[in-house]
Amino acid sequence: MTRSTPEAIIRKCVAKFVDKEIIPKAQKADEGGKFPKEMLRQIAQMGIFGIRYPKNKGGAGGNNTLYCIICEELARGLMSVAAITAMQCLMGTNFLFHFGTDEMRKNYFLPAMKGEKFSCFCLTEPEAGSDLGAVSASAKKTSDGYVVNGLKTWVTNGPVADFYTVLCQTDPAKKFRGLNFFFVPRDTPGVSVSKPFDTLGTRTTMISEVAFTDVHIPREHRLGDEGQGLNNLLSILAEIRSMTAALAIGLQRAALDDSVRYAQERTAFGRTISNYQLIQAKIANMAVNLEASRLMTYKATNMIDNRVPCMTESSMAKYFATEAACKAADECTRILGAYGYSMEYAAQRYYRDSRFLLNGGGTHEILQSNIAKWVGL
């Protein structure tokens, strides 16, 4: 008898949950546009939020491959739930886990693993996205800590987060070497949050601006050694990109499944449209892109798990899988014809949600430029 692998067990468990608890409720959740507390409570009970962290520290003892499998399966059900989970597992809690004090981990990290508190990652600013050298949010030293001032935008989980990991500039003269991450609890005086953005897709993911006005934090709330903010970000960038690729794989699978199902049911000119070569070609291309995305993404996650540098591989996976997801969503709406334009069918949601993937982990224009450099240009 073949022994089941941890990867197969995790995939089967999460897939069963997605099929039972997410897919049947996805349309209503998307239309309602509210933070999916009940789904996230169930995900927390499964131990998913701690998948990347060791068991003896409050996690589930998994690795990056398992994390990406979870993200893929959840995205197959509802992209916004997968995005919130991805934030909770990685960007929102990683630096708190590695650099926070025991007290901070007790009061924030452990509750986050249980789904009792939510996290977010404040990186982007109105004038600083891909160009981190333009970050203007500042953290000025005081006798006992720092004072944070600045505005962050496009903050996933911003309106619902209990704490923030914030990238700030401590010394503009040092440019990149002046960047540091800071831990800021939501209830700190001077923190204010805008109303949620009205977004095209991922409607249950709450995204907003977060402003910091003379926010006083203690010295120990600096996450990492002074001047190491950029290096600390780079240390998880391959994980962020492979995770985004995994989200794209989940969306591709959903779009492909719906396209195949509809093509086998819909009749035109006396036979199902699955018999027509142009429909077959669309579905075949979707399947090929899906398989290529899988191979690229899980090659990268395997390299990460084995501590092999893979910035190129993860960047290629993110770029390819996300473009393939956008294409799959588009083709799904075309295969469904007029029904692809109807809010009654999920095809329109795949199309809207696919746009969410384009910027996270690096815009495709930046990725293409970097890939070109890495191959010798």
- Candidates 1.20.140.10, 1.10.150.530, 3.40.1280.10, 3.40.50.720; CATH matching 230-374: 1.20.140.10
Rounded Cα gap, residues 61 and 55, in angstroms:
5
Confidence of residue 3 (pLDDT cuts 50, 70, 90): low
pLDDT value at 103 more than 80: yes
Rounded Cα gap, residues 78 and 76, in angstroms:
6
Q: Find out whether 167 and 155 touch, Cβ atoms under 8 Å.
A: no
Q: Which amino acid is at 363?
A: T
Residue 4: the pLDDT is 85
Q: pLDDT tens digit string along 193-218?
A: 999 999 999 999 999 999 999 999 99
**Which pair of structure tokens corresponds to residue 196?**
């949620």
Buried b / exposed e over 36-48, threshold 16 CB at 10 Å, is beebbeebbeeeb
Q: Are strands 163-169 and 191-193 parallel, antiparallel or unpaired?
A: unpaired
**Which pair of structure tokens corresponds to residue 200?**
């095209």
**Residue indicated by tokens 């949600």:** 353
pLDDT value at 2 more than 60: no
Q: Are strands 145-156 and 138-141 parallel, antiparallel or unpaired?
A: antiparallel
Residue 216: the pLDDT is 98
The CATH architecture assigned to 6-113 reads: Orthogonal Bundle (1.10)
Q: pLDDT tens digit string along 239-292?
A: 999 999 999 999 999 999 999 999 999 999 999 999 999 999 999 999 999 999
Buried b / exposed e over 66-100, threshold 16 CB at 10 Å, is bbbbbbbbbbbbbbbbbbbbbbbbbbbbbbbbebb
Q: pLDDT tens digit string along 286-332?
A: 999 999 999 999 999 999 999 999 999 999 999 999 999 999 999 99
* Phi/psi of residue 138, nearest 5 degrees: -115, 150
Q: Is the pTM of this model over 0.85?
A: yes
Q: pLDDT tens digit string along 163-194?
A: 999 999 999 999 999 999 999 999 999 999 99
Share of the chain above pLDDT 70, in %: 99
Q: Find out whether 340 and 352 touch, Cβ atoms under 8 Å.
A: no
Residue 1: the pLDDT is 39
**Domain locations in the chain?**
6-113, 119-227, 230-374
Q: pLDDT tens digit string along 13-54?
A: 999 999 999 999 999 999 999 999 999 999 999 999 999 999
Q: pLDDT tens digit string along 123-161?
A: 999 999 889 999 999 999 999 999 999 999 999 999 999
Give the DSSP letter of residue 19.
Answer: I
The CATH architecture assigned to 119-227 reads: Beta Barrel (2.40)
Strand partners, 179: 169
First and final C-alpha spacing in the chain:
51
**Which pair of structure tokens corresponds to residue 208?**
């907003």
Residue 155: the pLDDT is 97
Q: Is 122 helix (H, G, I), strand (E, B) or coil?
A: strand
Q: Are strands 191-193 and 207-218 parallel, antiparallel or unpaired?
A: antiparallel
